[in-house]
Amino acid sequence: MSNDIILDAECPRCGLVELERDQVWLVIATEPALSHYAFACPGCQTLVRDHADESIVEVLAPLLAVETLDVPAEALEARTGPTLTTDDLIDFCLALDTLDTVQPATAAQPATAA
């Protein structure tokens, strides 16, 4: 790819910045709401990420490096129940530790001849 194409993008800290196309990448997700383009601002090095709707994907895909993101269905499932807390994780780790204890096998004693 040639770097002769200059793109204008907005950094929240620096404002409008000019980028060569090898400084921007496009992520196309199987779930369109998760598609985005990103770049590291040349001024402040902040990683800037912005949503890429279908029209933006159409324009940028032929120009930029493209990464595809397969979002598993589990990631999109509605979550119910209480939020997992730090205490829940500690309790879970402690419970796992008790499972790590190896119980000695009780070997059958050989019969002694009389």
Q: What pLDDT score was predicted for residue 105?
A: 63
User: Would the pLDDT of 11 be above 90?
Assistant: yes
C-alpha–C-alpha distance, residues 43 and 112, integer Å = 85
Q: How far apart are CA 40 and CA 11, in angstroms?
A: 9
pLDDT per residue as tens digits for the range 21-65: 889 999 999 988 999 999 999 999 999 999 999 999 999 999 898
Q: What is the pTM of this model?
A: 0.61
| Positive or negative: CA dihedral 38, 71, 93, 105 | negative
Of the candidates 24, 20, 18, the residue with the CA atom closest to the CA atom of residue 4: 20
Percent of the chain with pLDDT strictly greater than 90: 56
pLDDT band per the 50, 70, 90 thresholds, residue 104: low
pLDDT above 80 for 101:
no
- Can you give the length of the chain in residues? 114
Confidence of residue 97 (pLDDT cuts 50, 70, 90): confident
Q: Is the dihedral of CA 60, 66, 70, 76 positive or negative?
A: negative
Predicted confidence band of residue 1 (pLDDT cuts 50, 70, 90): very low
